[in-house]
Structure 1
Amino acid sequence: MDYRDWEILKVLHSQKNLTKAAKLLFITQPALTNRLKHIQEELGTAIVTRESRGIHFTPQGEYLVHCAEEALAHYQKIKENIFNMSHNKDNEVVGTLKLGVSNFFANYKLAQILKLFKMQYPHVEFKVITGWSKDVSQLIHNKDVHISFVRGDYSWRGLLKHLLFEETICVTSKNEIDITDLPHLPRIDYRGDYLLKSIIDSWWTENYTQPPFISIEVDQVDTCKEMVKNGLGYGILSSRTLTGIEDLYKIDLIDEQGNPILRRTWIYYHEESLELNVVRAFVQFIKSLNWKDI
């Protein structure tokens, strides 16, 4: 088995489909099937079985995928160390920085940050993966990226983190409303990160005995915001989502002690990754920013 075989196993495991995996690997499906057959013959065991819903990995296959992930991560670490050694003499900051970024941060903050960083370090390139904060936090935990921008308080052992900013969560509507009437008012709900949803749900159960009246459900926070701006109902949104919008009525959520309920945004990274000039420079740059101006 070689590097390409490890890559094949990892992609096939993530897709559970030969056609999709072949497309991502830039090979034909027959070539992928043939290579998979060769791997199984070499190891003398079945790695996958075909089912109506796609590919299923055997216990031996699951173990092999785990080994593939470790082998690929180790190989990537070797490449990064060699690259870093080659440029360490002049302390030059070059290379590709892999970032995992929450959807909100990618839409509202990332472009400006990368622009400022590129002004200082023009030879750095970026590979960016976006998604829900839960998925982005998993990326840094698995070492698939160097740094993750995550909204919410996720706990991973062995990771360093730095707080970027805090924001309140608020009930928002086009017109003034009485917060005690919320169970009877139409609410625009959206599919958000599960940590945010759990915070909102906990606040609701502490303050109301009735479930909310969900009049419209959407899948994006920006869609929810537009619905609220057009007076179709109220929403419960984080305050940075509403930056620059002045003509909305807002009430911050507070806990039982009367303190505002906050949502935090962090960067997460592994200490060992700071050995790379490009990672160390980016972390230092992020820590130096004045987030009130971003």
Structure 2
Amino acid sequence: MNWQDIELLVTLYNTKNITHAANQLYVSQSTLSSRLHNLEKKYDIPIVLRKRRGITFTPEGVMLAKFAQNMQREHEKMREQLDNLQGAVAGTLRVGVSNFFALNKMPKLLRLFQREHPNVECHVITGWSSEMYRKLLNHDVHVVIIKGDYPWQEGKQLLYQESIVVASPWDFDWVDLPKLPRIDYHTDQTMKQTVEQWWYTKYKQEPFTNIYVNQVETCKEMIVNKLGYGIVTELVVQRNPDLVINPLITKDGELLTRPTWLYYGSDALTLNVVRAFIDFVLKVDVKRF
């Protein structure tokens, strides 16, 4: 199996779509299909089953794709070790970040980091914090920057805490909150559980949720346009001075907060590029970005 075959299998397995895989590999669909057919002939197995909405890998195809993924990981490790032996801060840095951090913090952070270390190639993966945590567990990334507390026995650094707040386009009394229209949004389980526990400790009735959206940024825009209030972290709405923002307080009188962590594996610290990135993140004030 040559390197082109490995890239083809990995990309196709990740996308489960011939059109998307061909676009990522910068080849035509017919070229990709031909190469896939040649692989099936070479190993005398069916690799994929074509369906109306994409493809499904056969058990034999899954085994071959997993082998290709392992080969790609080993190749990346070899390149990292070669770069590291030269003593320079160079090579590829793989970072997983939460959606909010990716949108609001990561562009400036990467720009400043690459200004200091121009020979570093950064691969950034974004998604829900829970997804990025799984990628760290699977060694798909070197480090992650995510919200919430996750079980992790290796390296981690607290970057900042932010209050969880009610953001509203109008002034309100806490006693009236269950009657007011609420904008809710898809978030990871840790945030959802924290907010629900606070709510049902304070109120007996369910919130009056009239709009549900996929992203917290969309929720913010709904709030700004006076369609309802939302419960978000403070950094989401800090640049909207016209909103009424009140922090959630626990029954013990404490602020309800959510942390943003930098997690990394101990073995990743053997790489110059990872140590340089961690040191850089810790010396800048990312909360103020």
In the superposition, the TM-score normalised over structure 1's length comes to 0.87
| Conserved 8 A contact 1:73-1:143 | no
| Conserved 8 A contact 1:141-1:156 | no
- Give distance in 2, aligned partners of 1:23 and 1:82: 30
- Taking the TM superposition and a 5 Å limit, the aligned residue runs for 1:211-226 are 211-226=206-221
- Taking the TM superposition and a 5 Å limit, the aligned residue runs for 1:1-294 are 1-85=1-85, 87-88=86-87, 92-155=88-151, 159-291=154-286, 293-294=288-289
**Corresponding residue SS for 1:98:** strand
Over residues 216-266 of structure 1, what are the superposed CA-to-partner deviations in whole Å (9 max), with x where a residue is unaligned?
Answer: 333332332233234332111101212244443333223444432221111
- Give distance in 2, aligned partners of 1:23 and 1:137: 28
**Corresponding residue SS for 2:236:** helix
**Counterpart code for 1:26:** Y
- Give distance in 2, aligned partners of 1:171 and 1:146: 35
**Corresponding residue SS for 1:113:** helix
Over residues 70-99 of structure 1, what are the superposed CA-to-partner deviations in whole Å (9 max), with x where a residue is unaligned?
Answer: 1110111001111221x21xxx32333232
Could you tell me which runs of 5 or more consecutive residues in structure 2 were left unpaired when the two chains were aligned: none
RMSD, aligned CA: 2.4
- Give distance in 1, aligned partners of 2:226 and 2:284: 36
| Conserved 8 A contact 1:254-1:261 | yes
- Give distance in 1, aligned partners of 2:32 and 2:234: 48
- Shift in Å at residue 135 of structure 1? 2.7
Does the C-alpha gap of structure 1 residues 256 and 70 become closer, same or farther in structure 2, counting only changes over 3 Å?
farther
**Corresponding residue SS for 1:33:** helix
- Give distance in 2, aligned partners of 1:67 and 1:156: 28
- Give distance in 2, aligned partners of 1:71 and 1:37: 21
| Conserved 8 A contact 2:6-2:68 | yes
**Counterpart code for 1:229:** V
Does the C-alpha gap of structure 1 residues 66 and 156 become closer, same or farther in structure 2, counting only changes over 3 Å?
farther
| Conserved 8 A contact 1:174-1:228 | yes
**Counterpart code for 1:47:** I
Over residues 257-285 of structure 1, what are the superposed CA-to-partner deviations in whole Å (9 max), with x where a residue is unaligned?
Answer: 44322211111222222222111111112
Over residues 7-38 of structure 1, what are the superposed CA-to-partner deviations in whole Å (9 max), with x where a residue is unaligned?
Answer: 22221122222222222222222222222222
Over residues 47-92 of structure 1, what are the superposed CA-to-partner deviations in whole Å (9 max), with x where a residue is unaligned?
Answer: 222233332222222222222211110111001111221x21xxx3
**Corresponding residue SS for 1:100:** strand
- Give distance in 2, aligned partners of 1:40 and 1:220: 41
In the superposition, the TM-score normalised over structure 2's length comes to 0.88
| Conserved 8 A contact 1:152-1:195 | yes
Identity %: 42
Give the number of aligned pairs: 289
Q: Which piece of structure 1 moves more, 138-147 or 232-241?
A: 138-147
- Give distance in 2, aligned partners of 1:10 and 1:94: 25
- Give distance in 1, aligned partners of 2:233 and 2:241: 15
**Corresponding residue SS for 1:250:** strand
